[in-house]
Amino acid sequence: MVGKYRIEVNNKYTKYFLTVQRNFTILQGNSATGKTELIRLLSQYEENGEASGVHVSCDVPVHVLRGRFWEEDIEHFHNSIIFLDESEQYAKTKEFAETAQKNDNYFFIVNRDPLHELSYSINEIYTFRNAAASQKYHEDFRVYNEMVPLNNSLISKYLSETAIRKIARQMPSEILPEEYKNA
């Protein structure tokens, strides 16, 4: 699967704007930013369609992967965007990574823990920015949720220079920024 896809999800109260353009998109960030609510709305839409009261707009099918029969379920999805909540512990497993990486779907994963088995770009880690109903959107929702890149530098500011050089010595040189190659 290739290309960039925009997804809009809304019910009467909340609207989400998402963009997916890689095999793996990771959603993290503060609590109560609407991550679980998004998965809940998508699950309801998947079960009941428009009759759920949830509206989903996307050029490709959207699915939610849940539960321990994920391996069987995933076989039914092709050229789709698949959402996983952080409760899906198998997302950390080698089995899931092997299945997902040779799959023709995009995966949108809500998880704060590092997913060591998956190959994803640091540029595909996002959080939600919430905005109350405003003139920007000209629509009458209580809250709008937009995906924005997650700023990880908040943690890095606590790394001492000594600590950075210790980390650099543990990493393969081909991934190091130039200034750390002689650390």
Q: How far is the CB of 120 from another protein (least distance, A)?
A: 7
Q: According to the binding rule CB under 8 A, does residue 14 interact with another protein?
A: yes
Question: Cα(4)–Cα(172) distance, rounded to whole angstroms?
Answer: 31
Q: How far is the CB of 83 from another protein (least distance, A)?
A: 16
Closer to another protein by Cβ: residue 79 or 152: 152
Window 82 to 141, contacts with another protein (CB under 8 A): 86-87, 89, 101, 112-114, 116, 119-123, 125, 130, 132
Closer to another protein by Cβ: residue 34 or 45: 34
Do residues 96 and 70 make contact, with C-beta atoms less than 8 angstroms apart?
yes
Q: How far is the CB of 131 from another protein (least distance, A)?
A: 11
User: What is the amino acid identity at position 24?
Assistant: F
DSSP letter for 48, please. H
What does the angle CA 159 – CA 150 – CA 3 come to, to the nearest 5 degrees?
135
Q: According to the binding rule CB under 8 A, does residue 19 interact with another protein?
A: no
Window 31 to 90, contacts with another protein (CB under 8 A): 31-34, 36-37, 86-87, 89
Window 138 to 157, contacts with another protein (CB under 8 A): 142-143, 149, 151-156
CA-based nearest residue to 34, from 152, 122, 147: 147
CA-based nearest residue to 12, from 57, 52, 66: 52
